Chains A and B, each alone.
Chain A
Amino acid sequence: MDLIFMTNVLSATVVAGTPLLIVALGALICERSGVLNLGLEGMMLMGAMAGFVAAYSTGSLGVGVLAAVVAGMVMSLLFAFMTVTLAANQYAAGLALTIFGTGLSAFLGAGFVGKTVAGFEPLAIPLLSELPLLGEAFFHQDALVYLSLVLAVAVYLFLRRTRGGLVLRAVGESPEAANANGLRVLAVRYMAVAFGGGMAGLGGAYLSLAYIPLWTESMTSGRGWIALALVVFATWRPERLVLGAYLFGGASILHLVLQGVGWSVSTELLATLPYVVTILVLVLLSYNPTRTRLNTPLSLGQPYRPSR
């Protein structure tokens, strides 16, 4: 393996990990507030579709990204209405969101299959992109990759260093105590869910505007679910999430690497790798139940109705 090959692999890993990172950052905030949204896949698809359709119609990538964020957010607000206001079962509502988002995006995007837009182009950051290996991978990428890294830092600082982060964690750990302290649990959860939705939409737009600039039905192919596993992997901590996203991203391009070094294994078999890796990671992480319980936000998945 020569340096150019290594550089390409690393660069492709970052690109493959970026949508996972964006979506998982949103899910992390959402889950830290105690709401488990299984609808990531549906929101991503809506974001991918809306982003592509908007960018195709207006010719502006910025409008596309904005439309994707809004689409993801609108979907997540539907979810929030069901689970936060109506205290519905979060598992069932999340599944509903995925099924609905898959159907709605396929329906609305039906006329745009096979069309193409000029997607995001890599921008080299002067000097830094000259670094060996890492330069190409992290400093010669498209704008959304940089945005994802900025967002990761922002989420980290928000959770650790701000009052808002403290409020969010309090609501997620013990909504009763937070409520007793005068925090508005439902409002916080609405905001957290909406943030998660916006990020899922953005992650979807990364797929349809940067990764492969086109729209096809169900093009996320399970990335929303992998992002969900990623949050468990990161034990709800943003710094581990960044590492995890690139690990999972690496797993999803492993087939390219293996083909690159001359292994001739069927593409379809190698395409199962990211899912197999996800299961293996889950096994490694969750076989110690105490550890999982210590890290999980305490009220995750529990509906909360403030008593008057």
Chain B
Amino acid sequence: MLLLERRQLDSNLFRWLSPVIAISLTLVTAGLIFLAMNRDPIQGLIYFFITPLSDIYGWSELGLKMAPLLLCAAGLTVCYRAKIWNIGAEGHFLIGALGASVVAVQLVDQDGFWVLPTVLLAGMATGAFWAGIAAGLKTHFNCNEILTTIMLNYIALNLLVYSVHGPLRDPFGFGFPQSVMFGDSALLPQLIPGTRLHIGLAFAMLAAVSVWVLFARSFIGFQLNVLGQDARAAAFAGFNTRRLIWFSLLLAGALAGLAGASEVTGPLGQLVPQVSPSYGYTAIIVVFLGRMHAVGIIAASALLALTFLGGEMLQIAMGVPRAVTALIQGLLLFYLLICDAFIQYRLRWRPSALAPAFNRKPGHSLAQEA
């Protein structure tokens, strides 16, 4: 019979092989789904993964989608390393977009170099504030951060929808629920002229590098790692757990808030209700797929950004529902977690549970068995 057996040491090979296997399995499954829908599977995969990147515009769009994913994922990495299960990136993102928009709308007639930084800082501050609520509830009221951050996501979404229907609504917007267009001085500069790619991607890269420095070179990164691996050990070592919780959540909130602010000051130029195609939730997949490592999350955010583009492409080219994006993202995370089991466990073929004891030859030590 096939047995699952604990490895003596976690397999480092599998830690990095697991995403590769998971991606392959996702590709195969996606092909089967296309086949089940009577579409050509190979053509479907090409439309999904290759066609979106066939020109420079496609690559710039990839960068555009990558920026918010990577910013959110960088913050979540810090939380998840410490096993603080912050699911709130979506809420931080939305509230950050809202906070930035409130300031940008006030400053719509202002001209000056300080306008954009003020708007971005407003987004970071509101994002951090939103995450701070969850941090305070966890450190002072012992509330589970999963539930509080999820609830805060829904509250943030409703506040955003309320704002674009109410106080922030453009009075000359023909009744559409959206804010006025921001002033030019509140818009992010473009990275490649003629495309929508803005310097938000540079912020995201900077955030990923900072996360690497944090964990590779700083004491607080070390403390976060210890907290994640063994909370009791962290307490015995005298680490201030509360401060670590505050630090990681505020950082995650600020980064996701910056992502939201970059989205409204970048490609959108105004606040609309559909500011996020669930970037915050997708960032969770990015973190797991990227092995909670800076280089890994950069690669993973590029792949997941591609799933957004691929979904749009498939809808246009083959009439496949747009939800194929979410489906493929979900499949990927599923396969990944299944493959991750083989970091700690391995499969062993045993004729039966009792057989090894009888078949053991004299002089064959137990140590060799294990």
A and B co-occur in one complex: yes
Q: Mark A264-305, 1 if CB is under 8 A from B, else 0.
A: 001011011001101100110011110010000000000001
CB A283 to nearest CB in B, in angstroms, measures 5
A225 with B143, Cβ < 8 A, contacts A88-B341, A103-B326, A266-B165 known: no
Q: Mark A218-247, 1 if CB is under 8 A from B, else 0.
A: 000110010011001000000000000000
A82 with B288, Cβ < 8 A, contacts A107-B327, A225-B151 known: no
A-B contacts besides A104-B327, A266-B162, 11 pairs, CB < 8 Å = A82-B341, A87-B344, A88-B340, A88-B341, A95-B87, A100-B331, A103-B326, A107-B321, A272-B154, A279-B152, A287-B143
Q: Which of A93, A107, A111, A217 contacts B337 (CB 8 A)?
A: A93
Cβ of B24 under 8 Å from chain A: no
Cβ of A308 under 8 Å from chain B: yes
Q: Mark B141-171, 1 if CB is under 8 A from A, else 0.
A: 1111011101110110011011001100000
How many of B's residues come within 8 Å of A, CB to CB? 49
Residues of chain B at the chain A interface (Cβ within 8 Å): 4, 6, 85, 87, 137, 140-144, 146-148, 150-152, 154-155, 158-159, 161-162, 165-166, 281, 284-285, 288, 321-331, 333-334, 336-338, 340-341, 344-345, 353
Given the complex of chains A and B, what is the CA–CA distance between A305 and B87 in angstroms? 28
Complex interface: chain A residues within 8 A of B340 (CB)? 88
Cβ of A69 under 8 Å from chain B: no
How many residues of A sit at the interface, in one of the four size bands?
35 or more
Q: Which of A87, A93, A217, A282 contacts B144 (CB 8 A)?
A: A282
Complex interface: chain A residues within 8 A of B144 (CB)? 232, 282, 286
B345 x A221 contact (CB < 8 A) = no
Complex interface: chain A residues within 8 A of B155 (CB)? 272, 275-276
The majority secondary structure among interface residues of chain A is: helix
Cβ of A91 under 8 Å from chain B: yes
A86 x B330 contact (CB < 8 A) = no
A99 with B154, Cβ < 8 A, contacts A86-B4, A286-B141, A287-B141 known: no
Cβ of A110 under 8 Å from chain B: yes
B147 x A228 contact (CB < 8 A) = yes
Q: Which of A82, A106, A266 contacts B338 (CB 8 A)?
A: A82
